[in-house]
């Protein structure tokens, strides 16, 4: 896959050896997550909004209520910066200066645009559902025209992107390795738990087949990566 060009917005300057600009890495980190933060400016005031997202090709989508001020402002080609981060571990060093975290992060730049066509919005929303729960759209009742009208779907073409990754043990000062202090990594993992049925589910209703990938004990990022690869 071609690399993204490291432009003035996306070039990693601090610890540049951790930077990645290839599409494979950027897409892989996006596909392993489901929530992001979108930064933008309205009337000179900066905002940063957490939201769920999904990727299709070189586009990233997010959605919300038609009454959302954020989405209304983003609908007209507003420049945005989208970031997604995975925290993988606490890096415990022999000095406070070298304590850190293992992480995988990605930062995207582009312009936000709104999907206007109702059919395109419905296709995008169904793609989002399918991305998380393959087959769920066929199990549920159909989305109504009113629900589509009440929903805004925003997308951005990725113009610039950079990923930054830290992994491995602490990097202490050479003279500190001899100190009798424990150091290492405490891993972090978001793990799927047991499904909790809605109290109003009829007795005897089986668990949906579309939720089979979310087996208790699996790591969430692995499930999301597998689902994206299969779609």
Is a pLDDT exceeding 90 seen at residue 18? no
Q: What SS3 class is residue 1?
A: coil
Average pLDDT over residues 31-36: 96
pLDDT (mean) for 221-228: 95
| Interatomic CA distance for residues 156 and 175, integer angstroms | 48
Q: What percent of the chain has pLDDT over 70?
A: 97
Residue 26: pLDDT above 70? yes
Q: What is the pLDDT of residues 195-204, one digit of tens each?
A: 999 999 999 8
Contact of 39 with 48, CB cutoff 8 Å:
yes
| Contact yes or no for 59/48 (Cβ under 8 A) | no
Share of the chain above pLDDT 90, in %: 72
Structure confidence by residue, pLDDT tens digits, 55-102: 999 999 998 877 677 777 776 788 999 999 999 999 999 999 999 999
Distances (CA, A) of 133 to 74, 109, 142, 231: 27, 28, 15, 11
Q: Are 27 and 55 in contact (CB under 8 A)?
A: yes
- Strands 45-52 and 35-42, by their bridges, are antiparallel
Q: Kindly tell me if the per-residue pLDDT of 145 is higher than 60.
A: yes
The residues near 205 (Cβ < 8 Å, ≥ 6 apart) are 197
pLDDT of 2 reads: 63
């Amino acid at each position: 896959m071609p690399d993204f060009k490291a432009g003035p917005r996306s070039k990693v300057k601090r610890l540049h050896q951790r930077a990645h600009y290839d599409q494979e890495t950027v897409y892989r980190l996006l596909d392993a997550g489901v929530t992001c933060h979108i930064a933008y400016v309205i009337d000179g005031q900066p905002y940063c909004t957490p939201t769920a997202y999904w990727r299709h090709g070189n586009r990233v989508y997010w959605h919300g209520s038609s009454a959302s001020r954020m989405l209304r402002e983003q609908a007209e080609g507003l420049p945005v910066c989208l970031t997604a981060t995975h925290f993988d571990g606490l890096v415990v060093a022999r000095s406070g200066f070298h304590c850190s975290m293992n992480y995988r992060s990605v930062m995207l730049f582009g312009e936000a645009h709104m999907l206007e066509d109702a059919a395109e919005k419905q296709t995008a929303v169904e793609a989002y559902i399918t991305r998380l729960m393959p087959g769920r759209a066929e199990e549920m009742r159909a989305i109504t025209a009113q629900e589509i009208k009440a929903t805004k779907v925003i997308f951005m073409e990725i113009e610039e992107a950079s990923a930054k990754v830290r992994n491995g043990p602490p990097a202490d000062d050479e003279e500190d390795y001899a100190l009798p202090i424990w150091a290492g990594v405490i891993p972090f993992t978001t793990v799927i738990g047991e499904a909790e049925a809605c109290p109003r589910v009829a007795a005897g209703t089986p668990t949906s087949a579309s939720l089979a990938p979310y087996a208790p004990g699996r790591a969430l990022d692995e499930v999301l990566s597998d689902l994206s690869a299969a779609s």
